[in-house]
């Protein structure tokens, strides 16, 4: 791209469900984008109205999976370069600067970009353990990538081509409370267990015992999650419990039991 060429237009894509308390801050952080697409799956609060008031193009679609919902949002965008974030995330000033720098260069050095995601946990950021830097691929050329695969939970964005790394963090306001985190992870555990079972993966008792222990040791000890103090300990324990719940549910499904 020559210096006189215009910067590529950029669309931001978000999927929502009852995010009225968080959507404003999310959209404010995306003010530098040319377009914001919000795909809502039936909010009963005023998420849609708040998003529209911020200038977003709001679409409604029944939810049938995280991957499908996000892919729908990407395909509904007007521009080929797309930035996908969740309603509980915000683009920090440092990340915005990095994105704008790459955009000024025409995104010429890559077909997609990763950046670190920093989770705020009980009022302070987690800077160690499994929580950070948690580099996520969210900015990409949809002609070269997208939300691919069959997995609808912990969905994956893939790009055909080079993936660059940008400075700055994506701020992640992940959980409203401990109850919110536990309920959400329990739902994720159910979805992942069913995904594994439906694809013929077999569960083992050893996985129930050792996988949670390894997740805890890897995050809290090997990746120094203990440096985040009591927050790091709570996060590591809850995360290990998610791994255990997923394994137990998978094991039960293998035995034709209800979960």
Residue-by-residue DSSP string for 138-181: EEEETTTEEEESS--SS-EEEESS-EEEEEEEEEE---SSHHHH
Query: For residue 35, what are its two tokens?
Result: 């377009």
What is d(CA 77, CA 35) in angstroms, rounded to the nearest whole number? 8
Phi and psi at residue 91, in whole multiples of 5°?
Answer: -80, 120
Q: State residue 113's pLDDT score.
A: 98
Among residues 25, 153, 42, 185, which one has the least CA distance to residue 89?
25
Name the 3-class secondary structure at 11.
strand
Alpha carbon of residue 126 to chain centroid:
16
What is d(CA 112, CA 139) in angstroms, rounded to the nearest whole number? 6
Measured torsion, CA atoms of residues 157, 163, 166, 171, in degrees rounded to the nearest 10: 10
Q: State residue 5's pLDDT score.
A: 54
User: How would DSSP label each residue in 55-89?
Assistant: T-EEEE---S-HHHHHHHHHHH-SSSEEEE--TTE
Stretches where the chain sits below pLDDT 70 are: 1-5
Give pLDDT tens digits for 88-105. 999 999 999 999 999 999
Task: Specify whether the CB–CB gap between 103 and 7 falls below 8 A.
Answer: yes
Phi and psi at residue 192, in whole multiples of 5°?
Answer: -70, -40
Q: Where are the domains of the chain?
A: 10-172, 178-254
State the architecture of 10-172 in CATH terms: Alpha-Beta Complex (3.90)
pTM: 0.90
Q: State residue 2's pLDDT score.
A: 43
Query: For residue 193, what are its two tokens?
Result: 């267990």
Query: How distant, in Å, are the alpha carbons of 57, 111, 215 from that of 139?
Result: 19, 9, 28
Name the 3-class secondary structure at 133.
coil
Q: State residue 156's pLDDT score.
A: 86
User: How would DSSP label each residue in 182-235?
Assistant: HHHHHHHHHHHHHHHHHTTPPP-HHHHHHHHHHHHIIIIIIT-GGGGHHHHHHH
């Amino acid at each position: 791209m020559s210096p006189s060429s215009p910067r590529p237009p950029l669309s931001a894509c978000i999927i929502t469900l009852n995010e009225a308390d968080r959507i404003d801050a999310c959209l404010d952080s995306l003010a530098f984008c040319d377009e914001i697409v919000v795909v809502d799956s039936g909010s009963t609060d005023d998420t849609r109205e708040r998003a529209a008031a911020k200038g977003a193009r709001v679409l409604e679609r029944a939810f049938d999976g995280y991957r499908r919902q996000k892919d729908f949002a990407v395909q509904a965008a007007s521009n080929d370069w797309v930035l996908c974030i969740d309603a509980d995330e915000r683009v920090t000033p440092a990340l915005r600067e990095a994105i704008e720098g790459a955009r000024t260069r025409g995104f010429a050095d890559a077909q997609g970009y990763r950046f670190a995601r920093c989770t705020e946990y009980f009022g302070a950021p987690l800077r160690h353990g499994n929580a950070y830097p948690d580099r996520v691929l969210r900015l990409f050329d949809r002609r070269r990538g997208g939300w691919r695969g069959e997995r609808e939970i912990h969905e994956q964005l893939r790009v055909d081509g080079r993936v660059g790394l940008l400075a700055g963090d994506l701020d992640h306001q992940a959980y409203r409370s401990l109850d919110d985190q536990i309920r959400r992870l329990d739902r994720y555990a159910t979805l992942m267990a069913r995904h594994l079972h439906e694809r013929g993966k077999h569960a083992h008792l050893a996985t129930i015992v050792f996988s949670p222990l390894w997740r805890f040791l890897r995050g809290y000890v090997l990746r120094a999650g203990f440096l985040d103090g009591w927050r790091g300990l709570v996060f590591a324990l809850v995360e290990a419990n998610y791994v255990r719940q997923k394994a137990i549910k998978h094991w039960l499904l293998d035995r034709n039991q209800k979960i």
